[in-house]
A and B are shown apart, each in its own frame.
Chain A
Amino acid sequence: MAASEQDKLRQQASSGALREKANEGTLPHNIFSSEAFFELEKEKIFQKAWILLGHECEIPDPGDYIVRYICDDNLIVTRDESGEIRVFFNECKHQGMKVCRTEMGNTSHFRCPYHGWTFANSGDLTGVPFKHETYDDESISDISLDEPRYDTYNGLIFANLDEDAESLKEYLGDFTFYLDFFVGRSPEGMEVNGPQRRIIDANWKLGSMNTMSDHYHSVTTHRSVSDIDLMEHDEEDAGIAAPRYHVQCDAGGLMMRENNFFKNHEMRDSIKQAFSEEQWDLVSGDIPMGGNGSMLPNVNMLAARVQVNEGESAPITYIRTYRPIGPDKTEVYTWHVVEKDAPEELKEKSRQGYEMAFGISGMIEQDDLGNWSSVTEVGKGGATGNHDVRIDMHLKQEEASDWDRPGKAYKAPFSEVNMRYFYNWLFDYLEA
């Protein structure tokens, strides 16, 4: 795409023109492939929003650490000697190389391989080779690895690169009501396996749009999965075209429908204890609800039951996040999530069900990827990049009047209303 075209897209994004277009039901195709637009997203979204790094259970003991990214910023997430979670930029305070070059492990300190500066896992500089021959004490006192803001919610660890950003709690708002369905299902907390990591040739937005809004694709993309009965069949399930609520609530959106995930869940009793009365009522009342969705900007989640062995199903949950590398290059992290208090056998079956249906070899997820990379690739076309893609399904639909839960909802089997919510949220950041 010519530079002028890119500038135009960027200018339209900041001025509100693209928001208007999205609300009328279309997006320029190159929104998935433009370098300029991507740079704007990196700066205005990924350096301002709360971004998921991992789960507390990945670093259970003092000294444990994992290394994660926000776009190109590399971060060390560790548990210091006092048991506190800490997040540091993986950047030596001398001349800036990585002080940690593994993915995870356990250490009380990080030693920079370049000139040997050593930092404790509290971030403090504790060792400088030839200290007396190199610096006066004053110039190297009080040095520690830089820390972004970070916070946790129900075990999930987030960071925010903007010092002035609102708190995580404010950011999430009432979306926690729904987020708990995936990560807050036990009084003892949840645990994760993984992550599986892989690189895809697709724009990061497609997965988020898809998981919070697009049930329509299931009919075609995931047809093979219903043909082989991968998911547990539910007698009361009204089928693939049953109406569902497309819910929009602060930092997220999801699709909820009648579903027996919670009703049939082996850990039902303890889940009930972990939930508020309103939460439990929604998932176990007269019309028990379940579903899948996205926390903005880039975290997807889903809960379902998979036919894991002959005649045997298991509840599975995943959390998936996207690390944008380029407009057409994204690293995907997926974790399997399970109740900490579940019996070992259930945890194992649940993990196996996840591996079968989702994640890199999952029979559901593998059919999604080709769609997303193809949409991205076609967006690079000199002509097709300037074409429109549609997000106008049920553009004029009224809000559902019977939704008395947090946020608002639209009722339809299929709708693109949550995609429009996603873009409105995005443009709040891009226009700021």
Chain B
Amino acid sequence: MQTEPISKPVDDIELFHRVRSFLTREAELIDARKFDDWKELMTEDLEYKIPVRATRGENTHEDDFLDMHHVEDTKYRLEKRINRLNTEYSWSEQPPSRTRHLISNVQVGNRDADDEYTVKSNLLLYVSEGDDPDHKLLSGRRHDVVREVNGSLKLARRIIHLDNTTLPLDRISIFI
């Protein structure tokens, strides 16, 4: 269901632009490691999930995921992660990873709830660590729900379908 193409794309260019700017701003805050500000862009009932993909059967398709997640966060859990990063002892991010979120192929559709939009985008995430000249790359499709809250947009749900089954990362200590 989440992977179905958007059937009713919005025809409101201004709205499309607002959503696009929201995604850009949000990615910018993560890459600048302003996680406390980033968190403010999330609704209280946030769902933030990265299910584990599997190469199953002969005809693996878009929706082939295990009943397991790499990340399955609520606002509470996301705050725990941010609080941890704010302590002196978050070794996995010391020194901090440098991330670059490239967001493209954005589609915006109306949801049945008229204060919410379905937003889909492609993600290419570049990660550089320490003095390692190599980098890690992750790609995936993001299935978001963005909601109007008091005149501004907030992220209510994000499900990220990474393209890897075995991850090329030794840990997820960054926000994807």
Q: Would you list which residues of chain A between 198 and 213 have a CB under 8 Å from chain B?
A: 198-202
Tell me how far the C-beta of A66 lies from the nearest C-beta in chain B, rounded to whole angstroms.
Answer: 10
The stretch from A360-368, A391-399, A412-420 touching chain B is: A360-368
Q: Is the CB of B173 within 8 A of A227?
A: no
- B122 interfacial by beta-carbon distance below 8 Å: no
Taking A102-B55, A199-B170, A227-B89 as contacts, is the C-beta distance between A352 and B72 under 8 angstroms? yes
Q: Which A residues are in CB contact (< 8 Å) with B74? A: 309
Which of A34-42, A147-155, A217-225 forms part of the interface with chain B? A217-225
Contact of A366 among B60, B76, B165, B172 (CB under 8 A): B172
The yes or no answer to A196 lying at the interface (CB within 8 A) is yes
Q: Known: A223-B87, A224-B84. Is A198-B56 also a contact (CB below 8 A)? A: no
> Contacting B170 at CB < 8 Å: which of A103, A194, A352, A369?
A369
Q: Flag if B81 contacts A365 (CB, 8 Å).
A: no
Q: From known contacts A223-B89, A224-B89, A227-B87, infer whether A360 and B68 are also in contact, taking CB-CB under 8 Å.
A: no
Residues of the B chain whose Cβ atoms lie less than 8 Å from the Cβ of A371 = 91
Interface check B52, CB cutoff 8 A: yes
- Complex CA–CA separation, A403 to B125 (angstroms): 52
Chain A residues within an 8 Å CB radius of B17: none
B-binding segment of A18-26, A46-54, A104-112: A104-112
Report whether B170 and A107 are in contact in the complex, using a CB–CB cutoff of 8 Å.
no
Residue A351 CB within 8 A of the other chain: yes
Q: Name B23-81 residues within 8 Å CB distance of A.
A: 50, 52, 54-58, 60, 66-74, 76-77, 80-81
Of all chain A residues, the one with the shortest Cβ separation from B50 is A361
B169 contacts A by Cβ under 8 Å: yes
Q: Is the interface of A mostly helix, strand, loop or mixed?
A: mixed
Given that A199-B168, A361-B70, A373-B170 are known contacts, is A105 also in contact with B57, CB under 8 Å in the complex? yes
The minimal Cβ–Cβ distance linking B148 to chain A, given in whole angstroms, is 26
Closest chain B residue to A200, Cβ basis: B170
- B171 near A: Cβ within 8 Å? yes
Q: A248: shortest Cβ distance to chain B, in Å?
A: 29
A331: nearest residue on chain B (CB-CB)? Answer: B166
The winner among B60, B80, B167 for most chain A CB atoms within 10 A is: B80
Whose C-beta in chain B lies nearest to the C-beta of A356? Answer: B77
A326 at the interface (CB under 8 A from B): no
Provide the bound-state CA to CA distance between A352 and B50, in Å.
12
Q: How many contacts A-B (CB < 8 Å)?
A: 123
Contact A197–B167 (Cβ < 8 Å): yes
Min CB distance B44 to A, Å, is 11
Query: Which residues of chain B (98-135) have a CB below 8 Å from chain A?
Result: none
Interface of B, helix, strand, loop or mixed by DSSP: mixed
* A194 close to B166 (CB less than 8 A): no
User: Which of chain B's residues have a CB closer than 8 A to the CB of A199?
Assistant: 166-168, 170
User: Which among B83, B88, B165, B169 is the interface contact of A360 at CB below 8 angstroms?
Assistant: B169
Decide yes or no: A361 and B171 within 8 Å by CB, A227-B84, A309-B74, A369-B92 being known contacts. Answer: yes
For residue B166, which residues in chain A have a CB less than 8 angstroms away from its CB? 197-199, 331
Q: Please, which residues of chain A bring their CB within 8 A of the CB of B167? A: 196-199, 360
Asked if B90 and A361 make an inter-chain contact with CB atoms under 8 angstroms apart, the answer reads no
Within 8 A of B (CB), among A217-245: 220-221, 223-225, 227-228, 230
Asked if A228 and B171 make an inter-chain contact with CB atoms under 8 angstroms apart, the answer reads no
Q: Are A355 and B72 in contact (CB under 8 A)?
A: yes
**B67 cross-chain contacts in A, Cβ below 8 A:** 193, 351
Does A305 touch B at the CB level, under 8 Å?
Answer: no
Task: Give every chain B residue within 8 A of A285 (Cβ-Cβ).
Answer: none
Q: Which B residues are CB-close (under 8 A) to A225?
A: 84
> Do B87 and A228 touch across chains, with their CB atoms under 8 A apart?
yes
Can you list 23 A-B contacts (CB < 8 A)?
Answer: A103-B56, A104-B54, A104-B56, A104-B57, A105-B57, A193-B66, A194-B68, A195-B68, A196-B52, A198-B170, A199-B168, A223-B89, A227-B83, A227-B89, A228-B83, A230-B84, A309-B74, A331-B166, A351-B72, A356-B73, A363-B81, A367-B92, A370-B170
